[in-house]
Amino acid sequence: MKKKSIVSALFVLLISMLLALPAQVSADAIPTDPYYGETVTVGLYDPIPPGWVLTGNFTMMYVGGASYGDRISILTESPLPADWVLVNYDSYHYKWDAVYVGGASFGDTEWIATESRVPAEWVYTGYDSWSHNYEITYVGGADYNDMVSGVLPESPLPTGWVRTGYYSYGNTYELTYTVGAEYLDTISIVAESPVPEGWAKTGYDSYHNRYELTYTVGASYGDTISITRESPLPEGWIITFLGWLSHRITYIG
């Protein structure tokens, strides 16, 4: 009799747990034209479509159409759509606070968790050793010769940017934007900086360990310049003289 009572109690408990589960909908019930913030209830193993995040057990929210600075809370197992960053972890609820950084303007800053990815055109400009969070700065929308200082060595280097200064006191770099240059424009970079496409190393300062770069796009047929031996050969140019310290190159198109 006692055994039957235990079985009955377990059966009642199982039924009550099933009744407590939210109603599940199939993927077909997901809106075809959702709006930002719209939520749906889904099954445990239903796939998560692009643009959706998990905000709770069996709950998805659509985050397409977000504005810069919008903030949401997502489960740790949720995908993180493009242009969203993780900013704070709630260990009690196993959730992340995420912020939308799409639509930022040049120079805007945000603090992100170490675990967060860094979106394109953002660089590390600060680190908080207590929270282990990074400050990131948006460098998209820059004009030729725009500069950003205080960039950490571990920061990604977005396309078109070069390292033009190093400050040992703070162990940071100064970056300069090179897109928009004209033929034969020059810029000075630290030796460890990569050389952007279209530029060539045309001089070396051994005392400061710096290279001078010259922009080679826009040359006319037959134009010649001298480059260092370490320089990449720009597209459309050929080496016409091999020197001990430098080479002469000629543009043939």
The phi, psi pair for 69, rounded to 5°, reads: 95, -10
Secondary structure of residue 11 in the 3-state scheme: helix
Cβ 252 vs Cβ 221: under 8 Å? yes
End-to-end CA distance of the chain, in Å? 95
Per-residue model confidence (pLDDT) at position 159: 96
User: And the tokens for 151?
Assistant: 């960039």
Report the pLDDT value the prediction gives residue 6, as an integer from 0 to 100: 47
The rounded distance, in Å, linking the Cα atoms of 203 and 188 is 9
pLDDT tens-digit readout, 158-205: 999 999 999 999 999 999 999 999 999 999 999 999 999 999 999 999
Close Cβ partners of 38 (under 8 Å, ≥ 6 residues apart): 31, 61, 62
Phi, psi angles (nearest 5°) of residue 156: -65, 155
DSSP annotation of 119 reads P
**The pLDDT of residue 19 is above 50:** no
In the 8-state DSSP scheme, what is residue 206? Answer: T
Q: Output the pTM of the full model.
A: 0.82
The rounded mean pLDDT for the chain is 90
Confidence at 12, pLDDT banded by 50, 70, 90: very low
Integer Cα distance of 214 and 237 in angstroms: 13
Could you tell me the two tokens for 129? 């050793």
pLDDT of 182 reads 98
